A = this chain, B = another copy of it.
Amino acid sequence: MKIDVLPVIEKIKKEIKEHREKLNRKPKLISITDDYTGATKAYLKSQKRIAKEYDVDFEIIETENLIETIKKYNEDKNVDGIFVARPTKTIKFIEVAKILNPAKDVEGVTPYNMGMNFYGVEEFVPCTAESAVKILEQTEELKSKKVAVIGRSITVGKPLAIMLENYGRDCTVNILNSKTKNMQEITKNSDIVIVAIGKANYVNMDFLKEGTTVIDVGINVVDGKLTGDVSKEVEKYCSVTPVPGGVGSVTSAILMRNVFRAAIKGGKI
């Protein structure tokens, strides 16, 4: 069964609507890149389309000096949210994350915002991680559920695990990685499996028991088609988010909502 994420997006849009009414102007998002080519170019073009859909002012800034450019926009009162495209080419991303203004960090990648997640504050957490969590919250009661997260990335697997452990959600979360032994045994013994590894069709029914809730975070291109980390056969036996039209769509909505949040907060953290 495919999980329908539309109700999740509707809820986010409701929050956006409330912010918009208060704000009484278009918020502005800029996306900064030091490598406006290939996948980044395609990604930012789709971001432009999404910003239009959500009625967010949007501008792509190309630069060879990421740090100075970010510092400038950190202080620019006309810019509400700053997105920095990854991978960065001229400098390690962590150097970007360290200097980005947390109040404009709509993607939730600054150490400050990532650290707030430990404290249970999810104002700006990594959008994809939040997307998976929001979908799960809509899908089922999470308390005491056994969750396997495949993938330990900085912006998905790890923060996601912390969010699901936070009070109120109360999941028991097992974080699996490429060095994990007997992975299938663990995932088969889980109520929820989240897959965020970037390997097309990697997870099939060898990993799952029937009735598992599966969140597919993967976005891979196979023969020109977007393909998730979860094999198509799985939806016959499990509830699974589609790719495209699943986690990614919710992630986009969250990013745009965060631009409104940042605008409403007006630079305060």
Contact = CB atoms under 8 A, between A and B. Distances in A.
Given A158-B162, A162-B158, A165-B152, A181 B144 contact: yes
Contact of A175 (B159, B161, B176): B161
Contact of A110 (B115, B172, B269): B115
A121 B95 CA distance: 12
Contacts of A97: 119
A268 to B, nearest CB: 12
B144 A179 contact: yes
A179 B172 contact: yes
Contacts of A181: 144, 146, 172
B162 A162 contact: yes
B144 A119 contact: no
B175 A118 contact: no
Interface string A146-165: 10000010100111011001
A165 B177 contact: yes
Contacts of A121: 94
Interface of A: 94, 97-98, 110-121, 143-144, 146, 152, 154, 157-159, 161-162, 165, 170, 172-177, 179-181, 186, 269
